[in-house]
Chains A and B, each alone.
Chain A
Amino acid sequence: RKEVEQDPGPFNVPEGATVAFNCTYSNSASQSFFWYRQDCRKEPKLLMSVYSSGNEDGRFTAQLNRASQYISLLIRDSKLSDSATYLCVVNRGFQKLVFGTGTRLLVSP
């Protein structure tokens, strides 16, 4: 079993749709959590950190459930520019980041 698991998708949604991605992690000692965005042939870029209290940044909302070891990302009012791969990332301590394989999102007109 992978330490960080994501549905690879692709998720094909129309503009304006709401889409949710889920991620589970296996190491209960994991300390911090992130969503990164990676465009084709580009480096990953931090989208947002994820906290137990929830974290909202404009159209993006991230949630963490430590008891279930589950992380989510919700994107509202999808834009064409949201098309990318979304990486669930877990810091399991000592600055060791573990990356999920990513969920691909395609937003169409």
Chain B
Amino acid sequence: SAVISQKPSRDICQRGTSLTIQCQVDSQVTMMFWYRQQPGQSLTLIATANQGSEATYESGFVIDKFPISRPNLTFSTLTVSNMSPEDSSIYLCSVEEAGRSDGYTFGSGTRLTVV
């Protein structure tokens, strides 16, 4: 399965600032996904990132708050903009590998604390 490198692993940020999270995959993948896991909660899909097109956002998430880049088939970034304490969460990227339908692989996550 694909190996995903996600950076940073954790950060503490001031409210009002922005943080960009990077996700690098060791193979070309068609689709990449960004999830949020709030404290004590399960994962919620933020958006789907396709190479060469704009990301598709889920209900409750908007591009101005969570801009996403997908410049090629192995890399994506998620930015958390104008952060508030409510954005404190774990952010994870995930990939679907071409030709596989038996689940998805996740990055190790970015633990974000906004103070």
- Taken together as a complex, chains A and B put the C-alpha atoms of A43 and B42 apart, in Å, by 11
Q: Which of B31, B44, B106, B107 contacts A95 (CB 8 A)?
A: B31
In whole Å, how far is A7's beta carbon from the nearest beta carbon of chain B? Answer: 13
Question: Count of chain B residues with Cβ under 8 Å from any Cβ of A?
Answer: 22
Q: Could you tell me the dominant secondary structure of chain B's interface residues?
A: strand
Chain B residues with a Cβ under 8 A of chain A: 31, 33, 41-45, 48, 58, 92, 94, 96, 101-109, 111
Chain A residues with a Cβ under 8 A of chain B: 32, 34, 36, 41-46, 49, 87, 95-102
In the complex, the chain B residue whose C-beta lies closest to that of A96 is B45
Instruction: Using A43-B107, A95-B31 as known contacts, say yes or no to A32 and B45 having CB atoms under 8 A apart.
Output: no
4 smallest beta-carbon distances between A and B, as pairs: A46-B103, A43-B106, A99-B42, A99-B43
Residue among A41, A44, A46, A99 having the largest count of chain B Cβ atoms under 10 Å: A44
In the complex, the chain B residue whose C-beta lies closest to that of A34 is B103
- Can you list 29 pairs linking A and B with CB atoms under 8 Å apart? A41-B111, A42-B108, A42-B109, A43-B92, A43-B106, A43-B108, A43-B109, A44-B43, A44-B92, A44-B106, A45-B106, A46-B102, A46-B104, A49-B102, A49-B103, A87-B42, A87-B43, A95-B31, A96-B45, A96-B48, A97-B33, A97-B43, A97-B45, A97-B94, A97-B104, A99-B42, A100-B42, A101-B42, A102-B42
